[in-house]
Amino acid sequence: MESQIQLLAQPPVGAEELNDLIVDSMQDIKAKRIVKLDLRHLKDTPADYFIVCEGDSTTQVRAIAANVARRVKTEGHIRPAAKEGEQVARWICIDYYNTVVHVFYRETRAFYELESLWSDAIFTEYETL
């Protein structure tokens, strides 16, 4: 109970720190093709940022999403507004209000082509470790 009180008492991290923490959390679990889409200059977007990555298996997709959620909660002091797709683990979406995380299974990412839908965004690609 005490640790939960401490968690809530800490101020949340800012947008850039949150995005860096999410990317680092993805790299911890060897996520592939990590991309940040900056949507702030576009009108009527569901968020300011999308951070997208993929895993080679549903097990890895679950592990990436779980690591992001755990580290953002403990280090960033932010709980998600919503988290969807964990059971099937072909596309897990974690909504952090201004940043939405998309963790895809490789074939699912290719099918939906999320980056193509938001091709006007400013893209930042990150190294696969």
CATH number at residue 20: 3.30.460.10
Q: Where are the beta strands (DSSP E) in 3-105?
A: 32-38, 49-55, 82-84, 91-96, 99-105
* Domain presence at residue 65: yes
- Range of the structural domain that residue 60 is part of: 10-118
Strands of the chain, DSSP E: 32-38, 49-55, 82-84, 91-96, 99-105, 122-126
pLDDT band at 9 (very low <50, low <70, confident <90, very high): low
Q: Is the pLDDT of residue 70 over 50?
A: yes
The tally of domains found in the chain comes to 1
Instruction: Answer yes or no: is 30 within a domain.
Output: yes
What does the pLDDT look like over 29-56, one tens digit per residue? 999 999 999 999 999 999 999 999 999 9
Round to whole Å and give the CA distance between 51 and 63. 16
107 domain residue, yes or no: yes
Residue pair 42/24 in contact (Cβ under 8 Å)? The answer is no
Q: How confident is the model at residue 128 (pLDDT cuts 50, 70, 90)?
A: confident
Q: What is the pLDDT of residue 3?
A: 47
Report yes or no on 5 lying in a domain: no
- The model's pLDDT over 75-123, given as tens digits with 9 standing for 90+, comes to 999 999 999 999 999 999 999 999 999 999 999 999 999 999 999 999 9
Residue with the two structure tokens 């995380």 = 101
CA max distance for the chain: 45
Integer Cα distance of 24 and 123 in angstroms: 17
